[in-house]
Amino acid sequence: MNPTDIRAPEYFHKVVDCQWACPAHTPVPEYIRMIAAGQYTEAYMINWESNVFPGILGRTCDRPCEPACRRVRTEEKPVAICRLKRVAADHKGDIGHFLPQVPKDKNGKRVALLGAGPASLAVARDLLPFGYTVDMFDQDPAGGGMMRSQIPAFRLPADVLEEEVDLIVNMGVNATYGYEITSMKEMLDMNYDAYFVGTGAPRGRDLDLPGRKEVDEHISIGIDWLSSVAFGHTTSISGKVIVMGGGNTAMDCCRTSKRLGAETVTVVVRSGFEVMKASEWEKEDAMSEGIPIINNRPPKEFVHENGKLKGIIFECVKPIEEAGRLKYVPTGEPDVFIECDHILMAIGQENHCPWIERDIGIEFDKWDCPILDEVTLQSTHPKIFFGGDSAFGPENIIWASAHAHQAAISIHLMCQGKDPKSDRPPEGLNLISQKMGVHEWAYDAEHDASKRYLVPHANRRRSLENIKVEVELGFDEILGSREAQRCLNCDVQTVFTEKLCIECDACVDICPMDCITFTSNEEEAQLRNLLTAPAPNLEQALYVSTELETGRVMVKDEDVCLHCGLCAERCPTNAWDMQKSVIHIPQLGSYAE
Amino acid sequence: MTFVPKPRVHHPLLQFNEIGLTRRDYEGSVSTLCAGCGHDSVSAAVVIACNELAIPPHRFAKISGIGCSSKTPSYFLGASHGFNSVHGRMPSVATGANLANHELHCIGVSGDGDSASIGVGQFAHIVRRKVNMLYIVDNNGTYGLTKGQFSATNDRGSTSKRGVPNLYSPIDLVSMALQIGASFVARSFSGDKQQLVPLIKAAIMHKGFAFIDVISPCVMFNNHNGSTKSYQYVREHTASMVDAQLVMPHEQIEIEYAPGTHKEVDMPDGSVLRLRKISETYDPHDRVGALNHVQRAQEQGDVITGLLYVDPIASDIHEVLETTSTPLNQLEETDLCPGSEALTAVNASFR
């Protein structure tokens, strides 16, 4: 194998699995260390810079970081990254003096943000400190988008939401609420220098089955119903409720129904339990509130009597694997009838933009999604950018933040007369040695064998009575600092300097995970089997040195390295050093400095 | 010194041996020796060897004297019996331990100071007595604990860290062991586990006195240009004579050598020691030839390694003394004090 180029920013970035998996590339280990040190405000600001909504995401994020966490591979349960983010948000002090200054003198460029959801707000936050005039339009009576309308208060309390939304709006966004955008042409006529479309995926899917029309008044589309609950238009639901769908919206619908007075709530899902789209913890929370989830039951017919809904007939199927894909075949059991008075349909949503005229220069693909440059998020109309769910379909809030940063860079470059693609700033990497003395490291290297700590919950009866009672209480400072200790500090890298190595084997002998091998150099496939411990995880890189004095090379399998620093600790010549990698992800604020 | 404890968590694919243990179960506490010390590699080699032999850790007795080397038994086989004895007196304690319970595998670890200076007399006599044990000398040619004076195994002309040459001839423990009658004699290098681990395995299974002299560089005081026991010097001047592999009874013999290039020695536990000659002129069963070879190489500044001599039909102290097959520590009072009738019979036999 060729020697590894550790100066390429993506190499060490990839070693920090959580940061790599995070769409916004939040430097997770860095803020977790700050939480462990009780520096909540600083930990919050690291998050705020990178993902914009730490308090909200600390409660609602889909957590792509957690399945990526190295702990999953070394022990089992990942670090509770998401809930630690919340610890920073819950315990932070005054952040006022950390916030970017917004100049009074504007730069003369005007940007329109369509939609007031997370994507638009994040774009506003990035652009405002550069003197842009930012006008935001939304049909809802308040900002926040789906964070306000679709996430129930028992998961995301209003004050947490408002704090982070208002923080950005108060930086100087000219917000126009209750403004329904009906025509993109009309918007273009307002002659802004750039437009950002962050209108989300506002159309919930429907199901056209026999009886659908007749029972129309007993069926609600999940996200619309949640929205009407959020804005206080719906305050109760009665009788027996069936929630159709297996995603997080379905989980929010069923738990909200339970709180608004439904006699019974049942979730019925077309597919198997394991392949449901809902996050593991959302399913667990729903079930622990006594809501049954019935799987492998595709609906066949809505049964009604003179327009009065009676229930739904479901088919019984089972999943079988065929050519690596799941296929559902009838089990032969008789169809089942489940009685209900109301149906909440939560079977997916679309980023539907009927208000964008198709003759103004924005091209759409065959799925009716706008054609975008994946890096710049620019549409085929040079002034119009997309982000969040309206860009590539329904994702989650963290993707909206990630898109927003990219779009903000593009908008800024375009407004400066530069090319949004070729003039984009590159990623960067700094390596900072953590050695402070003979046996002193600037980070807590010691491995903590604790199991993942559970987040305490509010009293079940109380939280089921009141939709505004938040179910999760969050870690307190003590639990938070304990959980923070579980972080393996994967951003503190094992950096190897060939010319210092005397090949004494000390690192090989001490490594608890058998990551290090000195061997003759081979092709990667061969090398992976030659190591002290086999390295079958192809997603994890091998770190290969240049040739050493004996003609061998050092090969380190990054897969299960604990970053405990013992190799560096036992190295007599400092050929191994623990160096913190700081990965610079271009963002409008950071590269203009 | 390392203060960070080694995490107990291990690689998810770490192999279990035949008795359901992993290599980690054969470790001791984290070394307090200097980072990069060759001795730590020797300890690691012992860990690997014992794991591969799949002998339960509590069936080992590890005994040492004083010095850097003699601290190392703390760093392997944490779940075994241990005795850190007096300077140079490890052989006496090991002899006693082996006499008391011959069922334990006895590993003695000593250094060049412990065995070639203060304990040289003890060393000579344990070789003579054929105690069934593995005697390892971590040989770095220097007194590391007292900051780098020349030890008795340091080669004449080899320099100290400051460049002062050694004026005295070295004691070669391998030559001594060969001459006095050790039945298994090897030399190896701490930086070459591929060679060292099989040697340790074979030595543990050897019945009789097995001696391994391991060149184990002292990174602090004897790893400079001018030293003949540095990583670099040994790597440049080493020549392996005989490659030894211990093939366990349950293991498949995979490699077939050309006829005449290898020999097999049956071990008491049913395993086979395969010896592959690397040098044409070397015979690992010829004690005098081995002695000549070692001394000639030394004269030329070469370090010859590998299994230098093995006596396939060696005996041990218990055979010589014709002791009972039951370990002495397991004899009951009735065995040891068979009563006045037995005493009368014994007395009568002398009349």
pLDDT band at A592 (very low <50, low <70, confident <90, very high): very low
Chain B nearest-CA distance from A557, in A, is 11
pLDDT tens, position by position, B186-220: 999 999 999 999 999 999 999 999 999 999 999 99
Does pLDDT of B253 surpass 60? no
Residues in chain A: 593
Of A533, A536, A565, the CB nearest to B4: A565
Classify residue A427: in a domain, yes or no.
no
Classify residue A421: in a domain, yes or no.
no
Does pLDDT of B255 surpass 70? no
Q: For position A30, which CATH number holds?
A: 1.10.1060.10
Residues A118 and A194 in one domain: yes
The pLDDT value recorded for residue A509 is 94
Does pLDDT of B81 surpass 90? yes
Position with higher pLDDT, A294 vs A322: A294
pLDDT band at B260 (very low <50, low <70, confident <90, very high): low
Listing DSSP states for A436-482 in one string gives EETTEESS--SPP-PPPPPPPB--HHHHHH-TTS-SB----HHHHHH
DSSP secondary structure letter of residue A111:
E
pLDDT band at A2 (very low <50, low <70, confident <90, very high): very high
Count of C-beta atoms within a 10 Å radius of residue A359 = 6
Residues A552 and A478 in one domain: no
Classify residue A4: in a domain, yes or no.
no
The pLDDT value recorded for residue A410 is 96
Mean pLDDT for A312-320 is: 92
Residues of A in contact with B41 (CB under 8 A): 504-506, 509
Does pLDDT of A124 surpass 50? yes
Per the structure, the count of domains in chain A is: 4
pLDDT tens, position by position, A193-244: 999 999 988 888 888 888 888 888 899 999 999 999 999 999 999 899 999 9
Among left, alpha and beta (phi > 0; psi -120 to 50; other), residue A212 is alpha
Domain closes at, from A415, A432, A455: A415
**Cβ pair A75:B219 closer than 8 A:** no
Residues in chain B: 351
Q: Which H or E run includes B198?
A: helix B193-205
Mean pLDDT for B92-119 is: 96
Residues A496 and A581 in one domain: yes
Does pLDDT of B1 surpass 90? no
Residues of B in contact with A507 (CB under 8 A): none
Q: What is the torsion angle, in degrees rounded to the nearest 10, for the CA atoms of residue A146, residue A150, residue A155 and residue A156? A: 40
Amino acid sitting at position B309: Y
- Cα–Cα distance, B86 to A59 (Å, whole number): 63
For B19, residues 6+ apart whose C-beta sits below 8 A from its C-beta are B54, B56
For B319, residues 6+ apart whose C-beta sits below 8 A from its C-beta are none
Residues A252 and A384 in one domain: no
**Cβ pair B6:A566 closer than 8 A:** yes
Of A74, A504, A510, the CB nearest to B231: A504
Does pLDDT of A591 surpass 70? no
A574 at the B interface (CB within 8 A)? no
Minimum CA–CA partner of B43 in chain A: A509
Residues A279 and A195 in one domain: no
Residues of B in contact with A447 (CB under 8 A): 7, 9
Residues A25 and A92 in one domain: yes
Model's pTM, two decimal places?
Answer: 0.89
What's the Cα-to-Cα distance from B247 to each of A176, A313, B183, B201, rounded to whole Å? 82, 68, 19, 10
The pLDDT value recorded for residue A408 is 97
- Rg from Cα positions in chain A: 26
Position with higher pLDDT, A586 vs A593: A586
Residues of B in contact with A573 (CB under 8 A): 36
Amino acid sitting at position A269: V
Position of tokens 């536990």? B269
Burial class (CB in 10 A: 0-12, 13-18, 19+), B259: exposed
Q: Tokens in use for A319?
A: 């999943």
pLDDT tens, position by position, A474-501: 999 999 999 999 999 999 999 999 999 9
**Cβ pair A514:B11 closer than 8 A:** yes
Phi, psi dihedrals of residue B263, rounded to the nearest 5°: -130, 150
Amino acid sitting at position B303: V
Q: Tokens in use for A578?
A: 């623990």
**Cβ pair B44:A509 closer than 8 A:** yes
**Cβ pair B41:A512 closer than 8 A:** no
Does pLDDT of A45 surpass 60? yes
Q: Tokens in use for B331?
A: 């004899």
- Cα–Cα distance, B110 to B138 (Å, whole number): 6
Domain closes at, from A464, A482, A500: A482
Residues A216 and A135 in one domain: no
For testing contact with chain A, the best of B4, B41, B227 (most A CBs within 10 A): B4
Of B3, B30, B191, the CB nearest to A503: B191
Residues A508 and A547 in one domain: yes
Position of tokens 């920073």? A88
Chain B nearest-CA distance from A475, in A, is 26
Does pLDDT of B100 surpass 90? yes
A504 at the B interface (CB within 8 A)? yes
Buried b (16+ CB within 10 A) or exposed e, B155-188: beebbbbeeeebeeebbbbbbbbbebbbbbbbbb
Position of tokens 């070789």? B127
Position of tokens 């009072």? B333
Minimum CA–CA partner of A575 in chain B: B36
The pLDDT value recorded for residue B256 is 57
Classify residue A438: in a domain, yes or no.
no
Classify residue A434: in a domain, yes or no.
no
The pLDDT value recorded for residue B160 is 93
Domain closes at, from A322, A348, A374: A348
Q: Tokens in use for A219?
A: 């069926």
Residues of B in contact with A502 (CB under 8 A): 36, 219, 223, 231-232
Residues A507 and A535 in one domain: yes
* Sign of the alpha-carbon torsion through A439, A441, A445, A446: positive
**Cβ pair A504:B191 closer than 8 A:** yes
Residues A88 and A113 in one domain: no
Position with higher pLDDT, B142 vs A590: B142
Amino acid sitting at position B312: P
pLDDT tens, position by position, A533-580: 999 999 999 999 999 999 999 999 999 999 999 999 999 999 999 999
- Cα–Cα distance, A450 to A415 (Å, whole number): 51
Residue A274 belongs to domain spanning: 204-348
Of A439, A515, A534, the CB nearest to B1: A439
Q: Which H or E run includes B71?
A: helix B68-71
User: Chain-centre distance of CA B75, in angstroms?
Assistant: 16
pLDDT tens, position by position, B163-176: 999 999 999 999 99
Does pLDDT of A99 surpass 70? yes
Classify residue A437: in a domain, yes or no.
no
Minimum CA–CA partner of A570 in chain B: B35
Q: Tokens in use for A299?
A: 């609906």
pLDDT band at B258 (very low <50, low <70, confident <90, very high): low
Classify residue A239: in a domain, yes or no.
yes
The pLDDT value recorded for residue A144 is 94
Mean pLDDT for A62-88 is: 94
Q: For position A262, which CATH number holds?
A: 3.50.50.60
**Cβ pair B6:A504 closer than 8 A:** no
Does pLDDT of B252 surpass 70? no
Residues of B in contact with A562 (CB under 8 A): 7, 9
Count of C-beta atoms within a 10 Å radius of residue A260 = 18
Classify residue A539: in a domain, yes or no.
yes
Q: How many Å from the N-terminal Cα to the C-terminal Cα in chain A?
A: 39
How many inter-chain contacts (A to B, CB under 8 Å) are there? Answer: 98
Mean pLDDT (chain B) is 91
Minimum CA–CA partner of A76 in chain B: B12
Chain A nearest-CA distance from B314, in A, is 34
Mean pLDDT for B322-330 is: 93
Minimum CA–CA partner of A441 in chain B: B4
For A150, residues 6+ apart whose C-beta sits below 8 A from its C-beta are A223, A226, A227, A230, A249, A252
A277 at the B interface (CB within 8 A)? no
Name all domains of chain B by residue range, CATH numbers in brackets: 23-321 (3.40.50.970)
Count of C-beta atoms within a 10 Å radius of residue A479 = 19
A508 at the B interface (CB within 8 A)? yes
For testing contact with chain A, the best of B1, B3, B6 (most A CBs within 10 A): B6
A566 at the B interface (CB within 8 A)? yes
DSSP-based three-state secondary structure for B305: strand
Closest CA to A160 of A495, A397, A395: A397
The pLDDT value recorded for residue A402 is 96
What's the Cα-to-Cα distance from A172 to each of A103, A131, A196, A562, rounded to whole Å? 10, 10, 17, 45
Residues A57 and A84 in one domain: yes
The pLDDT value recorded for residue A593 is 38
The pLDDT value recorded for residue A353 is 82
DSSP-based three-state secondary structure for A435: strand
Residues of A in contact with B37 (CB under 8 A): 506, 572
Chain B nearest-CA distance from A110, in A, is 56
Q: Tokens in use for B71?
A: 């601290």
Give the whole-number percent of chain A exceeding pLDDT 70: 99
Mean pLDDT (chain A) is 93
Residues A66 and A33 in one domain: yes
- Cα–Cα distance, A564 to A74 (Å, whole number): 13
B57, B89 Cβ separation under 8 angstroms: no
Chain A nearest-CA distance from B200, in A, is 16
The pLDDT value recorded for residue A366 is 85
